[in-house]
């Protein structure tokens, strides 16, 4: 039997819903090692803190003796699951999928214990599937059942396309549970439908239906939408220490307690105190945010890196000083992209050329927000807020975008 404190951490902290909760608790207390299924589609090569919420739960259960079965969705990633996006994802080649998978796994095992995890690929069983197998699988469910899924229902009502391959996605994910005889499957709340299909299919095929363990969706650094790389409101697991620390410091005060709950091991009593203090405005949120940023940076790097990242933040962001090291760009290389005979370049194109903005659209956003500044070697500064303005930087000048991105021009 688990202690009440341990059980509370497992089933309540960082948990949105468990189906069925009572059955899951009974299984935990049975003493039998459980087979914990986590599937991922390597449609992208990286992991952010939104994914870490679920990975931390897997690690907690590993430490209680349970077995993680990680399924590499090398087939479903080629189909593309639109969960929560209401749009069809582009299909990837198998080579692209496996390249992404290697990067994903390297980051996955920064949280989950590799020695207590088994990695399997869907191609081990779907590679042997025949047309008869596919038809047999599809015959177990109806289109009406699948149109109950929120994103499918919305697109159907709006008469927008739903590819037949997309309807296969939940079936293939469900069959994974049958093959590995999953006891518990983990996913975000946007995966509830798919997890329940797996539970139902196991019952149809004579297995004990898996429990569905769903974690909450982490709000991104913008404080509004779910953390997502496409929305540029994410903190990547592979982020440099200074960038990771700085991004966490950019979250709104209203998200501090939530990040502590989902991403740290702060004891429940301390978390309750923190929530009370923040709600009563009896503490300075900045200090709690610094401890949060240090804790998370330390998790993915080490104490020395977290200390250096904090010192960097205090010097550069709070003290508005320049970092000791920054990328450099020679004026000769910049001149090749000049828009005017005198070597001047438009402000939006300058941001892209220096790598401070990934696209012209992002460059324009930074400029209109007043987040771009040219710091001259002589100590002066000027804010750039017009995308069409021409800029002629000199050697030693520094271009700053936002509070953490810099580039120095060299002769």
* pLDDT 10s digits, 51-81: 999 999 999 999 999 999 999 888 877 665 5
pTM: 0.75
Look up residue 235 and give its two tokens.
């903190």
Q: How confident is the model at residue 208 (pLDDT cuts 50, 70, 90)?
A: very high
Query: SS3 for 136?
Result: helix
Q: Is the pLDDT of residue 84 over 50?
A: no
Q: Which residues partner with 37 through β-bridges?
A: 69, 185
Token pair of 24 as six digits: 């899951």
Q: What is the pLDDT of residue 87?
A: 45
> Cα Rg for the chain, rounded, in angstroms?
25
Structural domains of the chain sorted by starting position, each given as residue range(s) with its CATH number in brackets:
4-215 (3.40.50.620), 241-318 (1.10.240.10), 328-410 (3.10.290.10)
3-state secondary structure of 330: strand
Taking the C-alpha atoms of residue 199 and residue 197, their distance in angstroms, rounded to an integer, is: 5
Sign of CA dihedral 111, 104, 247, 57: negative
- CA 269, CA 263: separation in Å to the nearest integer? 16
Closest CA to 113 of 41, 73, 61: 61
pLDDT the model gives residue 409: 85
pLDDT at residue 86, as a whole number: 42
Residue 227 CA, distance from chain mean position: 6
Torsion over CA: 191, 194, 199, 202 (sign)? negative
- Please give the Cα distance from 250 to 241 (Å, whole number): 14
Q: Encoding tokens for residue 129? A: 């599937």
pLDDT tens, position by position, 226-262: 998 777 889 999 999 999 999 999 898 999 999 999 9
pLDDT in tens, 117-141: 999 999 899 989 999 999 999 999 9
Nearest to 245 by CA among 385, 47, 61, 49: 49
């Amino acid at each position: 039997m688990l202690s009440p404190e341990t059980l509370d951490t497992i089933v309540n902290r960082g948990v949105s819903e468990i189906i069925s909760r009572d059955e899951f608790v009974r299984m935990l207390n049975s003493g039998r090692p459980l087979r914990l299924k986590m599937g991922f589609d390597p449609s992208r090569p990286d992991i952010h803190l939104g994914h870490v919420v679920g990975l931390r739960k897997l690690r907690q259960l590993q430490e209680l003796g349970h077995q993680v079965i990680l399924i590499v969705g090398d087939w479903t990633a080629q189909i593309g699951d639109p969960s929560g996006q209401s749009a069809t994802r582009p299909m990837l080649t198998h080579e692209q999928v496996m390249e992404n998978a290697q990067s994903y796994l390297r980051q996955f095992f920064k949280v989950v214990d590799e020695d207590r995890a088994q990695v399997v690929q869907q191609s081990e069983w779907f590679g042997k599937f025949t047309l008869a197998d596919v038809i047999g699988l599809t015959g177990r469910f109806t289109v009406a059942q699948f149109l109950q899924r929120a994103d499918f229902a919305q697109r159907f009502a709006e008469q927008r396309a739903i590819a037949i391959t997309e309807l296969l996605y939940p079936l293939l994910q469900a069959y994974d549970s049958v093959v590995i005889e999953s006891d518990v499957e983990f996913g975000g709340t946007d995966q509830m439908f798919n997890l329940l299909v797996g539970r139902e299919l196991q019952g149809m095929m004579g297995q004990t239906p898996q429990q569905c363990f769903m974690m909450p969706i982490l709000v991104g650094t913008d404080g509004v939408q779910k953390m997502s790389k496409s929305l540029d409101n994410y903190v990547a697991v592979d982020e440099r220490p200074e960038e990771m620390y700085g991004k966490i410091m950019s979250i709104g005060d209203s998200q501090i307690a939530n990040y502590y709950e989902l991403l740290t091991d702060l004891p429940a009593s301390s978390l309750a105190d923190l929530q009370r203090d923040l709600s009563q405005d009896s503490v300075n949120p900045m200090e709690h945010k610094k401890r949060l940023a240090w804790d998370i940076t330390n998790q993915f790097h080490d104490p020395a890196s977290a200390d250096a990242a904090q010192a960097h933040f205090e010097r550069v962001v709070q003290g508005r000083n320049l970092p000791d090291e920054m990328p450099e760009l020679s004026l000769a290389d910049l001149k090749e992209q000049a828009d005017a005979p005198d070597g001047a370049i438009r402000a939006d194109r300058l941001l892209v050329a220096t790598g401070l903005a990934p696209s012209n659209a992002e460059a324009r956003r930074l400029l209109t927000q007043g987040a771009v500044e040219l710091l001259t070697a002589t100590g002066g500064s000027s804010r750039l807020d017009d995308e069409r303005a021409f800029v002629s930087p000199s050697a030693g000048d520094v271009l700053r975008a936002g509070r953490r991105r810099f580039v120095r021009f060299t002769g």
